[in-house]
Amino acid sequence: MTLTATPVPVADPDAYSRAVARLRDARVALPTFAELAEPTRIPARIRERLADVDPDAADPLNLFRVHWWNDATRRGMAAVPEHVVLPESLTGVPSPIIVAFGNRFPMIRAHKVLAAYACLAPRLVAGEFDPTRQRAVWPSTGNYCRGGVAISRLMGCRGVAVLPQGMSEERFRWLDKWVVDPADIVRTPGTESNVWEIYEKCAELARDPQHVILNQFAEFGNHLGHVLCTGAALAAVFEHVRAAQPQLRLAAFTSATGSAGTIAAGDALKERFGAKIVAVEPVECPTLLENGFGEHNIQGIGDKHVPYIHNVMNTDVVTGVTDRATDQLAVLFAQKCGRAFLAKRGVPDAVIAALDGFGLSSICNVLAAVKTAKLLGLGARDALVTVATDGAEMYASEHWRILQRDFGGHFGNAEAEAVFARWMLGAGTDYALELTEAERRRMFNLGYFTWVEQRGVPVEEFTRRREQSFWTGLRESLPRWDAAIEEFNRRTGARDAM
């Protein structure tokens, strides 16, 4: 990608000057997007210093770990982004399913910290956010607001987390430790699918000019960060796997829609490999599939609307996954007897150990890959790639609740066999749709009601997103942002002092 880096205009010179002073005093340097996409570009002296930094500490150096290339310790760098290739003994399909691990990211053990950086950094270096006078508000159903709070701390400002009160206990325990003030955790009604309530709270907060809403569902930084960084990481993973199996082709990329950040990586993978882009949503809330509604427990993927940054017209397949499957498979993967059952089936020990990296939405992405392989009739030479957005450590309380609700507190070999047969081997082509142009238009038009009627986006701005030239044109911002980051670092002097 070769683009001209025309300057980013500074919206508010006073806010810009205060931001420079704040980060200079705190000795905070910012990585460029090019460095996060290809971390070997990060200067050796910075990478050497990182070896002594706790990846879970509120240390500004951890900004240079906001990428897919951290190793299992999260202290060093891996030669290839860490991943696992799921075999037929686990998935029931001959197609290899390649899963990149999101829990290698720093501070929150989830890749949403990348989205948070991609949304705040461009505003900071353009004088659109004053860390000395404003608070960054992070609307989310879980991981994004944690990533936002972490990035805010590292950049010397206050972050406000807005999320449904029904999310997992682990999320709230993490937030309690990281926020500056308990009031910076705003609980909205409902659970995973109650995004409208989050928007309403943010509209209320936005009436105070001290609050800047960084809405992941509408911030193009979220889209661009994943096109560049996640797209590059997944391409590297696939090329690594293909080096040992030259006959492989990348048939599809599956991603739960969520804020539609991660799925943007599919644009890059389609351009490079011709992979189909598969959007995934809960059967209990089939918004794209059926213009539907409902509630579910696949925490981290959101629904009941079409995100503004979802390139719907480039999506090829939509598939639904039930939260009963993700709930019960999460218990299977976590229980000793469940893992023993998988071992008897011939699942390799290394793959079983890797299941620690699968949270609820991670399992959802894998099941979507299984369903896609069946829908498209894929074989052993057709690889699918997806991401494990976060790990099982975020859901211990959910595992306990599901164990009591669905299994009366007892989970043995019979339960393991039944769960595996029903949800993994039994995953079918129901709630799966290959998209025609008419279907894409229907899904695109559904977004009108959220963004034009409810949120006041001009209809001309809304409709221009139909064209692929709009989305590829956005990428011109990336080198401009990097040039602005380099200039900002020059003014703070923090990077040269490292």
Contacts of 91 (CB under 8 A, 6+ apart): 97, 366, 369, 370, 373, 424
pLDDT of amino acid 2: 32
pLDDT above 50 (res 1): no
Over residues 441-459, the pLDDT tens digits come to 999 999 999 999 998 999 9
Q: What is the pLDDT of residues 218-273, one digit of tens each?
A: 999 999 999 999 999 999 999 999 999 999 999 999 999 988 999 999 999 999 99
C-alpha 74, offset from chain centre: 18
Angle at 436 between CA 431 and CA 276, to 5 degrees: 75
What does the DSSP 8-state code read for residue 138?
E
pTM of the model: 0.95
Using the 8-state DSSP alphabet, how is residue 109 labeled?
S
> Residue 26 above 70 pLDDT?
yes
Output 303 or 118, whichever has higher pLDDT: 118
Backbone angles phi, psi at 148, to 5 degrees: -65, -45
For residue range 168-199, list pLDDT tens digits in order.
Answer: 788 899 999 999 899 999 999 886 667 778 88
Cα–Cα distance between 411 and 38 in angstroms, integer? Answer: 44
